[in-house]
Amino acid sequence: MLSIIQQHIHQFLDHLSHEKNYSFHTISAYENDLRQFHQFLGRHFSGKSFDYSDIDHITIRLFLGDLIEEGKSKQSVVRKLAAIRSFLKFLVKKKIIEVNPGSHIVTPRLPKKLPTFLDESYVDRMMNLPDRTTAGGLRDRAILELLYGTGIRLSELVCLCLGNIDFNNETIKVLGKGRKHRIIPLGRKAKEALRNYLTQRESFFTDQATEEDRNAVFLSARGQRIYSKAVYLIVRKYMSQVSDLVKKSPHVLRHSFATHMLNRGADLRAVKELLGHESLSTTQLYTHVTVDRLKRIYEQAHPKA
């Protein structure tokens, strides 16, 4: 049975990648979580023959209890529970099991983490760091401007193709979570940075590049479609020069985009659509950031604060 579960886990991960368009990072995390659960089942049933029907909510609770005893953080435990629930839901959909035993388990409540973001002045300084006399610098500037100017996810930037850019209508089309497309306005600075980079883009071409690579907007030094880790390192490189934030990633630029939009009076629902959020409550996290900022300004500036 354990080998069959392993096969189903691989099918589930393929489903997340090809049908749900989950990021490489998320899929890797889910793979690790389900591998741990798979190993737990081997210990729990002592290698004896068992069936999916033997995996009930108590089995899952025992697994979560083991994690807590090992000193795993609450956030880690919650994510592993989400991975198991999602996997079992997939099995129900495929009619491999009839019910999802994970649906009866209450998710432990986590304290809401406020998004990390850069101040506008730091963003301006960072944008001026790439060397625009080189093709690499023009590419890096375009990556930074696009991430901050549109709020797109790392995976959405990596998957961007030339046909997704409409300079005439000043928009880009991205493929988000759940393989849902959305159209996002392209701001003046992002548009300018993209145009400048595209004039030098062909200098990245090599014999290693495939036809699919040549269709990608952003390319690596080898002329291939740029990969997520490379973009992460580019963002980290420039962000490190302007900020001492612990977290330095493309997602910080997404957070900065949303926070600065709301700070300047953007409608919450419009920001939700731009970010591609399913729920308004996810976007509302950014309003907490803006309220906290207003409180700090009030306390610093008002004589009766």
Catalytic residue among 22, 30, 197, 286: 286
Nearest to 27 by CA among 1, 43, 9: 9
Is 104 assigned a catalytic role?
A: no
Q: CA–CA distance from 91 to each of 88, 224, 240 (Å)?
A: 5, 36, 44
Helix (H) / strand (E) element for 154: namely helix 154-158
Structural tokens at position 66: 């083991």
Q: Is 38 a catalytic residue?
A: no
Cα gap 276→175, rounded to integer Å = 10
Among residues 79, 139, 201, 251, which one is catalytic? 251
43 catalytically annotated = no
Catalytic residue among 15, 38, 277, 293: 277
For 162, which DSSP code? Answer: G
Looking at residue 215, the DSSP 8-state letter turns out to be T
Q: Which two tokens stand for residue 158?
A: 């990596």
Tokens linked to 207: 């014999």
Q: Which of 201, 254, 260, 272 is catalytic?
A: 254
| Annotated catalytic residue 236 | no
State the catalytic residue, choosing from 8, 139, 153, 225: 153
Contact at 8 Å (CB) between 123 and 148?
yes
Residue whose C-alpha is closest to residue 146's, from 231, 236, 61:
231
The one catalytic residue among 177, 182, 214, 222? 177
State which H helix or E strand residue 185 sits in.
strand 181-185
The Cα–Cα gap between 103 and 93 comes to: 14
The answer to whether the CB of 48 falls within 8 A of the CB of 202 is: no
Active site residue 25: no
22 is catalytic: no
For 238-262, the DSSP string reads HHHTT---S--SHHHHHHHHHHHHH
* Close Cβ partners of 207 (under 8 Å, ≥ 6 residues apart): none
Active site residues: 153, 177, 251, 254, 277, 286
